[in-house]
Structure 1
């Protein structure tokens, strides 16, 4: 018993060493966007609405796809680190830069034609025009994401995460200062806000790249190589699976918001859902930290051919995140009538939001488990399987049930959220069953094969003893 307790403590410390700074980094980088919205809000209602739509719909779309494409590195880099084959990491990252860069180029027309696209979705012409201008100015941020995510996964796989947190913190302070100077004092308006956002994201990349080439990764980074252009097909396949898996989850919540907007009295219904989603987002940051941590731990241990250690990492990460989620759920249930008051003074909106408190608590608890299990899937390389599970649970169960409960049974936002929750619950149960029925020895063998084949033959180094 003492041995198990000691082992659990050591694994918990290892998990928190990764999850803690990842949580902080996610919060700090998300705050960059919040600061931009805050300064835009002081320019006027039109500017606030335009930037909110630009960030929530257009930039969120590009951000999600590129984050998903970059997540392929969590599988390959993590397993290569576990196998001690650090020389592969730089090649993997450069391949991911190529793939993400091309993806950003493909997504550029979405930024260029934001205005007519929003008008097709029956958005206000004034808002669409301003949002279109902002997204065109913000195109450099799209390519900043393409460079940022592969760098982050490269660092995470080697548990070099505190530097990312420090960089994000410093850049956030610079971001606030630059917005104050150029948007508020010098009066450059939305153009200034977009340019400051571009500068801030590229400052993050510049600082991370300087850290990369400063000699801290003598094995993993040996400079640029043409080998990055070879054997891209398998890498693209895994990147696409990762992107589809992640985007299906992000678009699920977007679809819920759109459905709620079709209800009668949409201002109140959308307002109530939006308040709840804000609380859910901040709670989700913790689970995403454990998502990254368990992805790194599982991929490292499978790459090192330690299947029992991989399974133990899953148990510790899931149980820790679930415990934190339980605490958050209790807080929400107890304070469900008070939490809306941080966002609104309108009695009707407070009342409608309070009704959703029970569902918010349950959603926060489920979302303390589900993202961690998704991290296990990324670490083990199950992205394609989880993508199919997401399609079935979210789009064939959750959304149709939400439509029936919300529109047919007249339960409004409450009914739509119930449908969403059923889909999330079903997905979580399936992932729990798959995870705990997994034959981890087989997964370790697959990891070895993945390093050899999916990464491409070019990285395999000759054996110094045999010359082969």
Structure 2
């Protein structure tokens, strides 16, 4: 009897161990499958963002080795007006990401091309509203008390920024459109080609033709518009047959809801972009404005390189959440969030460690000045802390955008950044006299608070409710069904 009981216990134990192994293998397979889906989106998205920003940095690098005033003027214009408008356009295009991602998940492929056209109309209209701010950038900066010599150089170069502004409208929206349907590998390839072209054209214009800062900005425009033309060829040339069926008057329907979602998205992201730009603007009031602005601009470039890597995962989080919400799978949404957060955290820690290890040496890529290098080295610790805080925040924002929660994130950004971070930073710099490093440190408190609030909101979100909201949104915004007998992208994949 005891022998039989022992055999029974051993059999049950073996069965239990076998079941545990199956669960572990299933979980491991599930994780790797999700990681594969994530990288399929994140890698091209990261390449796009890194190379797009790389084109801006290429101009900075060429200018920095030829003119101290030029690098300060370009840095001031780029980190204030250009960065602000870029944030608006990036945010507004995230509305395209939300709608196209959810439409793809719900298999409403016919609506994706219509959403893309609506975004072109809305984003072009908003971009045009900001042109006067670019035109009068110099006078505005002088009215704010910025260095006269630097702002007069801004007067000479603002016209080069306007074509670049309109190129962003198309590159951003088409990247989101292609990313939502897992066709963004082409974006990664085109981005790398555009960066190589930018380096070649900028070198020719600056080093060979001697065009200086104007040549650097010409190279930026050539590369950005070559990217737009290549994307047009891909989309219009038949490589998106199920989601692009040509221009349609349906693009002019429901523009107001599209405008509301786009503006909310733009407001959400521009608050983040402008937040860090305040550092550069405030550094313009320093005693040696050229060194202060240049040092902060270089720190912001390093920070933005890492941010753009995180924004690749931001895009992955957005698409994966939107796709799974469109499918109606709440459990898959929660699982994808966990996976992308872990991967982003690992990469963020590595980037922070590299920043601490190399410090001011990185500044010599942008400037030959030893004073600028020393200023950058002095800020490297604060920069590394910024990178650490930047690990989770973009992912949480991406999750919110994928679920269509842009208005909530905009409110959180406004309250934490500008009601807490900025006043605290100003207190540190003007009351406690901690310098501009104190300003940056105070503003990091706002970032930390924003991250904690978003963690709580995402944790408490009922994803079953979000699935229902997504279904209702897709029904309300859908216009025409696919043609009978049409083969969907997923049917093609199965074949």
**TM-score, length basis structure 1:** 0.91
- Partner in structure 2 of residue 105 of structure 1: 128
Q: Tell me: CA distance 1:53–1:275, structure 2 relative to 1, closer, same or farther (3 Å).
A: closer
CA distance in 2: counterparts of 1:275 and 1:67, whole angstroms: 22
Aligned pairs for 1:394-409 (under 5 A) are 394-409=417-432
CA distance in 2: counterparts of 1:326 and 1:21, whole angstroms: 21
Which of these residues, 457, 468, 479, is aligned with residue 458 of structure 1? 479
- Partner in structure 1 of residue 137 of structure 2: 114
CA distance in 1: counterparts of 2:125 and 2:89, whole angstroms: 10
- Partner in structure 2 of residue 145 of structure 1: 168
CA contact (8 A) 1:377 1:383 kept: yes
CA displacement at 1:291 relative to structure 2: 0.3
Which of these residues, 12, 37, 44, is aligned with residue 21 of structure 1? 44
Aligned pairs for 1:340-359 (under 5 A) are 340-343=360-363, 356-359=379-382
- Partner in structure 2 of residue 196 of structure 1: 219
Deviations 1:424-463 (A, max 9, x none): 111111111111111111111111112222xx34345699
Q: Tell me: CA distance 1:138–1:408, structure 2 relative to 1, closer, same or farther (3 Å).
A: closer
CA contact (8 A) 2:79 2:297 kept: no
Q: Which moved more, 1:128-137 or 1:102-111?
A: 128-137
- Partner in structure 2 of residue 160 of structure 1: 183
CA distance in 1: counterparts of 2:219 and 2:436, whole angstroms: 37
CA displacement at 1:353 relative to structure 2: 5.1
- Partner in structure 2 of residue 127 of structure 1: 150
- Partner in structure 2 of residue 293 of structure 1: 316
* Superposition CA RMSD, Å: 2.5
CA distance in 2: counterparts of 1:139 and 1:401, whole angstroms: 35
CA distance in 2: counterparts of 1:239 and 1:374, whole angstroms: 15
CA distance in 2: counterparts of 1:327 and 1:171, whole angstroms: 27
CA contact (8 A) 1:257 1:273 kept: yes
Give unmatched runs, 5+ long, in structure 2: 1-23, 486-495
CA contact (8 A) 2:80 2:274 kept: no
CA contact (8 A) 2:340 2:395 kept: yes
- Partner in structure 2 of residue 238 of structure 1: 261
CA displacement at 1:136 relative to structure 2: 1.4
SS class of match (1:215) = helix
- Partner in structure 1 of residue 359 of structure 2: 339
CA contact (8 A) 1:452 1:460 kept: no
CA contact (8 A) 2:96 2:115 kept: yes
Q: Tell me: CA distance 1:53–1:354, structure 2 relative to 1, closer, same or farther (3 Å).
A: closer
Quick check: 1:325 aligned with 2:345? no
CA displacement at 1:362 relative to structure 2: 2.6
CA displacement at 1:156 relative to structure 2: 0.9
CA displacement at 1:365 relative to structure 2: 1.5
CA displacement at 1:260 relative to structure 2: 4.4
Q: How many residues align?
A: 459
CA contact (8 A) 1:138 1:195 kept: no
Which of the pair has more CA radius of gyration?
2
Q: Which moved more, 1:215-224 or 1:361-370?
A: 361-370
CA distance in 2: counterparts of 1:203 and 1:229, whole angstroms: 27
CA contact (8 A) 1:256 1:399 kept: no
Q: Which moved more, 1:343-352 or 1:80-89?
A: 343-352
Quick check: 1:40 aligned with 2:63? yes
CA distance in 1: counterparts of 2:36 and 2:219, whole angstroms: 38
Quick check: 1:169 aligned with 2:189? no
